Amino acid sequence: MTVTATRVRVEVVMKKVGKVVLWIVAIFAALEILGMILTYSSRRIRPRTVLTLEVQGDLPEQPPQDPFEHLAGRPTTTVTDVVEALERARTDARITGLRVDVGFSTMRMAKLQEIREKVREFNRSGKFSVAYLEFASNGSYYLASACQTVMILPKSELHVHGLMASSTFFKGALDKLGVAPDLYHIGEYKNATNVFTEKKFTPAHREATQALLEDWYGEFVRGVAEGRRMKPEDVESAIRKGPFSSQEALAAGLVDRVGYEDEARHFVKQKNHGSDNHLTAREYARRTEPRARTKLAVIYATGTIVPGRSGDDPFGGAAGRGGEGRRSARGFSRRLSVLLGSDPPGSRDHPARETRGGFHVGRRRVRRLLDRHVREQDCGAARHHYGIDRCLDGQIQPDRPLQQARTHQRLRGHQRQRHARLPVSKLHSSPAPVG
């Protein structure tokens, strides 16, 4: 009798344990299904969606490392976000158009050119694009002119009036203070130190700055002429008459419509056949990010090369950042490739530079080193890009930098090389302050 009662109690306990286990399994299964549903809904893009891009100030190369930015819920849109979003949207049937809200832009010419070219590629896919100008400077209008339709705020102005460069020289002030700068440079066109050693533009300094401005101005005129379907001489004539009020810009053919923001939204909705679906470029890039087992590690090496560990210095990164990033990428076994690139303001003769090249010897678990499309936005008029004009034995041959870079990689065992996209012809020129 006692054995039977014990057996009954054991069976009751086992049933209760079984029910608890089943409930736990059911809860985990429900959570898994819920997670899959939420993941799908967070990546879902509705048909007839318009991609929106807001251009205000500058777009950084990489998101800030400040954790408070993420806690505050203010994600930063980067140049990579915009470029990747425009590339994917061009062939995405769910994206039917593009709206660009352009404010006061402080982006350099190289960034503007890259984004502008992606907008033009988007146009060639047969989809519409609309730019809405709240305030238009040279750079803002240069970007907006790539869109098929340009609208401007009625009370706004179009400040298109050519380019200028200025430089502040400290030699006179240093003389009064009894300070003698101990600086050196090689060649008259090496003008980075001129602001401390000269009181005005030297002929070589003026020549380099003037050449840079003429190059930018030519690119600006050609871009606006192509975007607005005007003759280059007509664009130059219009620039000489600037700045413009909104109505004057409309009469000159520099914009297509004048209206407020709600009118711009209504116009875009009409172009989109009544659909009001829209998605920001950053969110679209996140939702359409490929989920592949093989990864491509992108390392940002921007700013001046200086010794020490790097932080979020607004004036440039230290040399430690590149090495740390590459060591981090080296630790992931699923990384197929590492994309190395740099945007230094110049090639300073500093031992910290060697940490950039010295990493390649210790590369592990990295199967290929790819050439990066270098955006030379901050390189001086007579400076060299260190990563390109450096060859095996330290001998520099400026006439063949790209061939040397490829030879360097082939000798390290990389027999199959992708076609490099390095713009060798533009590895020069440091942007002077432009107003």
65 occurs within a structural domain: yes
CA gap 162, 234 in Å, rounded: 14
329 occurs within a structural domain: yes
CA gap 317, 333 in Å, rounded: 27
Q: What's the total number of domains in the chain? A: 3
Enumerate residues 6+ apart whose C-beta is below 8 A from 233.
Answer: none
Is the predicted pLDDT of residue 407 greater than 50, yes or no?
A: no
Confidence of residue 63 (pLDDT cuts 50, 70, 90): confident
Is the predicted pLDDT of residue 393 greater than 50, yes or no?
A: no
Return the percentage of the chain with pLDDT > 70, whole number. 59
Q: What is the mean pLDDT of residues 414-427?
A: 36
Return the percentage of the chain with pLDDT > 90, whole number. 32
Residue with tokens 């490099």: 420
pLDDT at residue 234, rounded to an integer: 93
Residue with tokens 């920001």: 280
pLDDT at residue 184, rounded to an integer: 81
Q: What is the mean pLDDT of residues 168-173?
A: 92
What mean pLDDT is reported for the chain?
72
Please give the residue that has the higher pLDDT: either 15 or 163. 163
Same domain? 252 vs 371: no
Same domain? 302 vs 402: yes
Same domain? 311 vs 254: no
Same domain? 247 vs 379: no
246 occurs within a structural domain: yes
Please give the residue that has the higher pLDDT: either 261 or 20. 261
Containing structural domain, residue 171: 166-199
Identity of the highest mean pLDDT range in 249-253, 344-348, 365-369: 249-253
Is the predicted pLDDT of residue 169 greater than 90, yes or no?
A: yes
**Token code pair at residue 31:** 């959570």
Q: Centre a 10 Å sphere on the Cβ of residue 194 and count the other Cβ atoms it contains.
A: 20
CB 432 within 8 A of CB 209: yes
389 occurs within a structural domain: yes
pLDDT at residue 312, rounded to an integer: 54
244 φ, ψ to 5°? -125, 150
Q: Among 87-96, 138-147, 211-220, 306-315, where is mean pLDDT lowest?
A: 306-315
5 occurs within a structural domain: no
Q: Among 113-122, 164-173, 358-367, where is mean pLDDT lowest?
A: 358-367
Q: Which DSSP symbol is given to 73? A: T
Confidence of residue 333 (pLDDT cuts 50, 70, 90): very low
pLDDT at residue 6, rounded to an integer: 65
Same domain? 275 vs 304: no
As beta bridge partners, residue 152 has 133, 258
CATH classification at residue 262: 3.90.226.10
As beta bridge partners, residue 296 has 337
From the CA atom positions of the chain, what is the Rg in Å?
A: 28
CA gap 50, 223 in Å, rounded: 24
pLDDT at residue 9, rounded to an integer: 67
Same domain? 418 vs 310: yes
Same domain? 243 vs 329: no
225 occurs within a structural domain: yes
Last residue of a domain, one of 260, 287, 314: 287
Please give the residue that has the higher pLDDT: either 374 or 74. 74
94 occurs within a structural domain: yes
Same domain? 275 vs 415: no
CATH classification at residue 350: 3.90.226
pLDDT digits (tens, 9 = 90+) for 134-162: 888 898 999 999 999 999 999 888 988 88
Enumerate residues 6+ apart whose C-beta is below 8 A from 264.
Answer: 99, 130, 132, 151
pLDDT at residue 56, rounded to an integer: 85
Task: For residue 154, give the amino acid letter.
Answer: P
Is the predicted pLDDT of residue 332 greater than 60, yes or no?
A: no
Is the predicted pLDDT of residue 328 greater than 60, yes or no?
A: no
Same domain? 260 vs 311: no
pLDDT at residue 162, rounded to an integer: 84
pLDDT digits (tens, 9 = 90+) for 95-119: 999 999 988 888 888 889 999 999 9
This prediction has a pTM of 0.66
pLDDT digits (tens, 9 = 90+) for 235-260: 999 999 888 999 999 999 999 999 99
Beta strands in 71-119 (DSSP E): 95-105
Please give the residue that has the higher pLDDT: either 207 or 301. 207
| C-alpha closest to that of 52 among 280, 273, 268 | 280
Is the predicted pLDDT of residue 329 greater than 80, yes or no?
A: no
Q: Among 23-37, 229-243, 302-316, 379-393, where is mean pLDDT lowest?
A: 379-393
Is the predicted pLDDT of residue 170 greater than 80, yes or no?
A: yes
Last residue of a domain, one of 247, 263, 287: 287
Confidence of residue 60 (pLDDT cuts 50, 70, 90): confident
Same domain? 258 vs 130: yes
9 occurs within a structural domain: no
Same domain? 224 vs 366: no
pLDDT at residue 221, rounded to an integer: 93
CB 319 within 8 A of CB 308: yes
Is the predicted pLDDT of residue 231 greater than 90, yes or no?
A: yes
316-347 burial code (b ≥16 CB/10 A, e <16)? bbbbbbbbebbeebbeeeebbbbbbbbbbbbb
pLDDT at residue 57, rounded to an integer: 84
Same domain? 191 vs 228: no
As beta bridge partners, residue 150 has 131
- % helix / strand / coil in the chain, to the nearest 5? 45, 15, 40
